[in-house]
Structure formats: C-alpha cells, structure tokens
Amino acid sequence: MSFSPQSKIWIYQSNREFTATEVAEIQLKLDAFTTQWKAHGHQLAAKAEIIYNFFIVFTVDETSAGATGCSIDASVRIIKEIEQTYHLDLFNRFNMAYKQDGKVVVLNKEDFETLISIKKVTPETIVFNNLVQTLADFQTKWEVPFEKSWHNTIFAHLLA
C-alpha cells in the first residue's frame, strides 16, 4: 500500500530498546489492530511499524477516510496495552532520543542536558523530532541534526 505524503503520522518512543521477541509480538498486535482500525465504520488506510526497535509509528492515509477522535483513542488504547504488557514508557515526552555511532540512545531530559553541556551531544548530533505530523515531514524532518531541530530552541543555552 502506498501512502500520500500528507498521511498523518503518530510516533511513540520507548524508554528502552525492544527485544527481538518483543518486536515480533508487538508488530503482530499492531498489524491486527491496523487491519481492523476504523473511523465511523470506515476502514482506515493505515499501517504501524517499529523502527530502530525504539519507535512505534502509525501512518494513516486520510485520502479515503480520516482518523477521528474515537479512532485516535483506539490507537492510544493499543499503545497503553503494549506499554503495560512490556513494562515500557511510550508517553514520556521528556525522554530524548539521539544517535550515537549509528545506534539510538534514549535518555531522560536531565541526562541529555548533561551530555549537551559536556559536548557529547553537539549541533551535528542526529536527534529525533517525534513532533512531525505528516509522512512527508517524517521522511525529511524526523531524523535531523540537533541544530535544525526543536531541541536546539530548548537546549541552545547549553551549547554556548
């Protein structure tokens, strides 16, 4: 299935890396969910994928049917169920993800700030912008250098 560049995106970032077993089990749950995901009785053109064993990304192509409050609530319920089953934290927006030597690292905000202040996170460090809302932005603005991300606005004082 191909998705419009304007497809809606939701990103859930884990506080820890999923194991191989968890990836397989969670993907099965996500596939079962997206195949029956509906909005006002209309099947949504949707997919869910696990990326880097840290991120769950929902994509909904709204050209045929748009996601509604109730359908979004249903997706949040499946994420909460996954969170409880696997003892994860998928809703903490204060966990920061970045790449170090090609691997994803997730830290709490305080530890991330420390790495910026000691120059272990630099303006060139790749960070994840989980605030992107469309597939086009996801493809071009999700993994970005720190200096081109919202992180720079919030943490710029630490780079000085």
Q: For the chain (length 160 residues), average pLDDT per consecutive 10?
A: 90 97 97 86 87 96 74 89 97 94 95 93 95 95 94 80
100 and 78, same structural domain? Answer: no
Burial tier of 134 (Cβ tally within 10 Å: 0-12, 13-18, 19+): middle
68 and 107, same structural domain? Answer: no
Q: Has residue 59 been placed in a domain?
A: yes
80 and 14, same structural domain? Answer: yes
Q: Has residue 134 been placed in a domain?
A: no
Structural contact between residues 153 and 144, judged by C-beta atoms closer than 8 angstroms: no
- Rounded to 5°, the CA angle 18-19-21 comes to 120
102 and 81, same structural domain? Answer: no
149 and 112, same structural domain? Answer: yes
Spatial CB neighbours of 5, under 8 Å, sequence gap ≥ 6: 134, 135, 136, 139
Q: What does the chain come to in residues?
A: 160
The whole-model pTM stands at: 0.93
What residue numbers bound the domain in which 38 lies? 8-86
CATH code assigned at 27: 3.30.70
Q: What crossing angle do the helices spanning 150-159 and 109-117 adopt, rounded to 10°?
A: 50
119 and 81, same structural domain? Answer: no
**pLDDT at res. 160:** 66
Bridging pattern class, strands 38-39 and 8-13: unpaired
pLDDT tens for 128-146 read 999 999 999 999 999 999 9
**pLDDT at res. 43:** 77
Q: Has residue 2 been placed in a domain?
A: no
**pLDDT at res. 1:** 67
80 and 12, same structural domain? Answer: yes
- Tally of domains within the chain: 2
